[in-house]
Structure 1
Amino acid sequence: VLSTSVTEGQTEVPLNARLRVRFSESMLAVSQNLVQLSSSVGNLPVSYSWNSDRTLLTLTPKQLLDSQTIYTLDIGAIVDISGNSVLEQQISFTSGISIDTRAESTTSYSLASNARDVPLNPSIEFTLNGPVDPATVSGNEVYLLDYDGTRARVSAEVSLSND
């Protein structure tokens, strides 16, 4: 497991949260039921979805989370395409009292669109209007395109700030 959208002890998780788990390798979708969401009353019904290379699993609860309730994301011994199991882990978090209604948008860029005379190795930064789920960020979601006619992806390293 590379990252998850919730962290141990996190509070104020939105009632409409989608829980994401990023894996380092492609996983077998048939083992997805080994990832569960539970509270003190038992497992919650969720729907599962994967990104195209099966490295990002999203759990969407079929109903809103109860407010100010402790939940556990239980990542069982889910199996990758080579048959290897991941280390099991449990992540407990507490829901908040509201749903997330924000539409994410970019608020600033360190490099202007169509900028000229850009160095060959620039550090490009952009700021969003709210927190980012680290489990959703990789080179597949954030990337540079070379617009010299080929529209080829340019190799880049993606990282998040602490805030």
Structure 2
Amino acid sequence: MKQLEEYTSKLRALKPDCEVPDFSSSGPGTDAKLLFLLAKPGTRGAGVTNVVDPLSNDDQTARNMRQIMEEIDLDPNRVLYWNVVPWFDGKRDVTAAEVNEGKRQLRGLLELLPALKAVVLVGKHAQRASDAFEGSGVRVFRTAHCGPLVKAANRDQFDAIGPVWKAASDYAFS
């Protein structure tokens, strides 16, 4: 956990006017085999609780994550959670510049995760970071975002999330 704390400290130093949530202390830490990468700390989730973890947050995205994980029998504590844009600036919008800056920082995170086998890019913003995993040996899975907007507007995309998360879990923990 100490290495992840040092990583977040470096990110905080890069943007002292923004918050950087912590990794969950109940998760796998640097022993992670499966990483879920989302967009950005939310105004009702990690941006408020200061931890990236669906068990610690009670926003609708976190509730949807817990429901999907329960349906596919995935223990949320086996997953490491992070955001392609790690900085919380109080805004919901995600810009291309933020994603590009976040992608550059992902390389440092990958170096701390030697056991990582799979990453799930949750949503279009996270998917724009797929090239950060090229050549890493980590298998990349992609799904729609699991937030309330996708659930309400595109139920087919939302319903397709569980099977992909299950495939990623099976791959990572096999």
Same fold (TM over 0.5): no
> Larger % of helix: which?
2
TM-score under structure 1 length normalisation: 0.25
Max radius of gyration: which structure? 1
